[in-house]
Structure 1
Amino acid sequence: MGYRIVVAGATGNVGREMLNILAERQFPVDEIAVLASRRSLGTEVSFGDKTLITQDIEQFDFAGWDIALFAIGSDATKKYAPIAAAANCVVIDNSSLYRYDPDVPLIVPECNADAIHDYSKKNIIANPNCSTAQMVVALKPLHDRAKIKRVVVSTYQSVSGSGKEGIDELWDQTKSIYNPTDDKPAKKFTKQIAFNVIPHIDVFMEDGTTKEEWKMVVETKKIIDPAIKVTATCVRVPVFVGHSEAINIEFEEFLDEDEARDILREAPGVMVIDKREDGGYVSPVECVGDFATFISRIRQDSTVENGINLWCVSDNLRKGAALNAVQIAETLGREVLKKG
């Protein structure tokens, strides 16, 4: 016997990717419902070899459904997640709404799967920010070996992290560069994104950090260890899909780069591609469509006592969003619901 699954926000980039991954990983689905807002009502979406028609989330009855994967943004989640949870349908939410709620577990299955059991406090499980998800997959196995003191991370985040509007703006601006009469001013982003980089993701906070940078700090502490110090600079780059991160890690004890490489090769969800030659590393275009978080450029940092540098790349629509949500559902089914 399998599960009755709901995908809310099924017409968006992440919602469609959730459906793809559920099918690819052969998640035990007995029945599936796809939900959207009224403006997208009746839209067709694919699930494996099936075509599904979206239903109105406003009218949907969550009673009798096991798990709902939400990809509808914080405002809609605030309204509908409690309704689903009250109907005993466990919500796995991709928005930021519940990530910092102490009664809601924030889960990356490779890192803190045991926290899944805390879901029953609100019947809701949070999915982390895309940039955090891939980083903690790399950090956790190293932390287990040598205990991380401090992380300095610079991100290079693709436009798909801001949704379809971001993808469209990069595409339109790139074309307009070669057609000066067809000017495409910045709308989704604060500056031109084509052939440019923007050191600004989400809103600014009082201390000068952005909300995206703050998310990486707080979520890493919640998922791995509250004692880890994290500082982040998050940058939007003209890449369609795939987030990259340059990560500097300082440990409490010495960790040799060769041992770090061996640890990461054995770590769940990680693929190490690290050859010290031209092209012996992974770039964003090579990670698209893949489940793994790729690690390259592993090397000692001689400027601190116990330091390692590495390069981390992942498909942000997969591990950064849809894949992690499905992995949470798999963990929930295996550890708690025990059906399928």
Structure 2
Amino acid sequence: MRRTLIHSTVISSLSICTALSTASVALAVADLSEWVGVGNTAPANNYVVTSPTSAGGTFAERRLVAASLSDQTLTGGPFDWFSPLSMSGTVQFTGGFDPVTFFGWYNTANLNQRIGIGVANPVPAGGGIRWQTQSGSVSGTTVNSQNVSDNTSTSTFAPGTYTFNFAYDGLGHMTGDFGGTMFARNYALPNNTALNLDRFGFLQKSGSDDNVNTFTLNVSNITYTGETPFVPSTDSADFNGDDIVDGADFLIWQRGLGGAATPANGNANGDGAVDGLDLGIWRSQFGTDPPAVAVIGVVPEPSSALLLVAALAGAGQWWMRRKSYTDGGLEPLAAHRGDRSTAFGKSRVVVRECN
């Protein structure tokens, strides 16, 4: 009976840890690989997709001709002014003198029609960037902007790296936070609500002047309504499973070339063939420990992982230190086996970090 109680205690601890892990659910970050640029590398611009999950670079503060780098095939889109929208991520930037750049959803036929965040001149002048929420005006001929903070100066952020969250409820209300500064802003809907928001990304609207002043702006690990989720590669050239890609794995590939297509025989990409593509993966991963394949969408917090280790370790120590049962004076099962190395006999728990 007591053994059953101990077993239940351990299982309960595992269940708690599992619940904590699955509660920490993160949306898959967006894949930016298919973003398309227009004028984004024209002088003095030079901003591009820098990795599947990041984009940015150098921006001209003002341009006579519009430029952009955006997702032109929004999943589930196009969206409109009655569509709930959200985005989040990390932004890194340097200071600007009088920058004008937007980031969010917009309409390609009327670039004034937009929902998102934008940058403006710092107040006071001399460093950083002022961040704002932005929306198309009622007439659609201009852009309405409101600082993320009620105080203009505290809407100016020093150069650095910040996280942000943004939500639009489909009724003109924008909420979220930028760098820990919470905001809630209301906008009147435009007269022409039929205009689709058919793009998402960076937008530099054409203006009355053009200058050579620049600033840098980068985004990474972003999520947004309409995104294509990034799916990490599961390719692995660790054919023998020893957690390092080395010469031994090359020999496995060499022996398996043209033969049965399994990971153990040199098939790194799972395409059903051991060939030159697998050799290319081996070359790119040589000397590394390939990332473990994880369940996409469930991201356990470090604290949850530590709780799991603590629960198992604590249960084992409790079992081992228990000299006898209060209801029968019996020794723990491990003691009868003459093995006190673990509360669970010869079994062991191995916790590995997924990179």
Q: Which TM-score bucket, shorter chain as reference? A: under 0.3
Which structure exhibits the higher relative contact order, with contacts defined as CA atoms closer than 8 Å and separated by 6 or more residues? 2
Structure with bigger helix share is 1
State the structure with more CA Rg. Answer: 2
TM-score, reference length from structure 2: 0.23
